[in-house]
Amino acid sequence: METQNALAVQQSFGGQTTELAPTETASSAVAAQAKAMVESRYIMAMRNPRNLDQVRQDLLKECRRPAFANNKSAYYNKPIGRDGVQGLGIRFVEVALRCMKNVLIETTMVFEDAGKEVHRVCVTDLESNVTYPLDVRVSKTVERSKPADDGTYISVRRNSKGYDVYTIPANDDDLLNKRGALISKAVRTLGLRIIPGDLQDEAESIIKQVRTDDAARDPNAARKQIIDAFGDIGVKASDLTDYLGHSLETCSPTEIVNLRGLFGAIKDGEATWATVMDNKRATVTEPEAVKTYPEDKFESQLPQWAALIQSGKKNADRIISQAEVVAKLTDEQKATLRAITIQKPEEPQANQTTEPSIGNLSATN
């Protein structure tokens, strides 16, 4: 059987070549197609290099749009520590990479079994030929408040509220959502390594300012909007009141911006409302124990404070306010300081003779 030959025209880095090649098999055709696609992307990147000034102009223009700046995924506030961890979100990275151009995002499944999938996410800057890879592990399970329909479950645990949480196999929809969320996080993480840092700083500042101005312009509308948004994910208005520690009607623009960031973190799977409240309780109770003024340190400082009060240089309230910059005084410690009074200088006695002046001493001599 004769082998059929065909003319193959190939566009490569060195230009266009025409050669006589045998008919390709299915596997070699796929390999040749993948190679051609990669080469074509690099060729287009070399022929149309990005203009960073134009990238900056386009990106900052997007950030100034209220609809984009107020997007839940443009900027998030993850509940970790007292002030939380804030950062640029998935939607920002998608827009930024589109403005930059010549960036290749690839996702490939490298492993799969009955319990998990492993996807390799790569973000490549075609102009600098720099690639950042990251492997994403997606477990084929989800947590639910009850077992599967047939009563089975993989494991069970007790959450912070005392309810049972069951781990069950994920269905196709659950797995699709879980896979998409984790891959999006990986793209965001890797994309931020491609986007220049100065552009990120400028964009972050603009997004924060737009959110604050929008909330200050119409606080009632912004408050209702964020309440409705939390309601869509099962967080009640009373829960928001517990988090803030006061009524929602007295929300400041800064608090509204903070709530919008928390909503973005929850919506993107960065956190849950349970973790938000757990972090809130931890940051409220922990500092109270830390800031109590140590008794041994108070006893060592007491003589010096007492001397200042007795001499009239400082009063007890002033010393208390200065001390509580470092740590909070207990009620007993405050009472001890307030019990100290000013000591008046002793008056000379009536029968005490006055000392002779220098002139009298010289006269007697």
Whole-number pLDDT of residue 278: 80
The residue with tokens 């994403």 is 136
346 pLDDT more than 70: no
Quote the CA–CA distance of 126 and 134 in Å, as a whole number.
18
pLDDT greater than 70 at residue 350: no
Tokens of residue 352, six digits: 């005490």
Residue 354 has pLDDT above 70, yes or no: no
Question: Which distant-in-sequence residues (6+ apart) come within 8 Å of 107 by Cβ?
Answer: 119, 120, 121, 122, 183
Q: Which two tokens stand for residue 17?
A: 């070549």
DSSP code of residue 126: T
Q: Map out the domains of the chain as residue ranges.
A: 5-47, 52-286, 291-338
Mean pLDDT of all residues belonging to the chain: 81
**pLDDT-wise least confident of 43-57, 239-253, 264-278, 283-297:** 283-297
pLDDT in tens, 76-130: 877 776 666 788 888 999 999 999 999 999 999 999 998 999 999 999 999 999 9
Q: With bands split at pLDDT 50, 70 and 90, how would you rate the model's confidence at 140?
A: very high
List 22's β-bridge partners, or say none: 5
What's the rounded mean pLDDT across residues 66-78? 83
Instruction: Report the DSSP beta bridge partners of residue 107.
Output: 121
Residue 178 or 12, more confident: 178
> What is the band of 244 on the pLDDT scale with cuts at 50, 70, 90?
confident
Nearest-angstrom CA–CA distance, 311 and 79: 49
Measured between alpha carbons, how far is 236 from 248 in angstroms, rounded to an integer?
A: 12
Tell me the three state secondary structure of residue 48: coil
pLDDT for 1 beyond 60: no
d(CA 150, CA 168): 11
Whole-model pTM: value is 0.62
pLDDT band of 332, cuts 50, 70, 90: confident
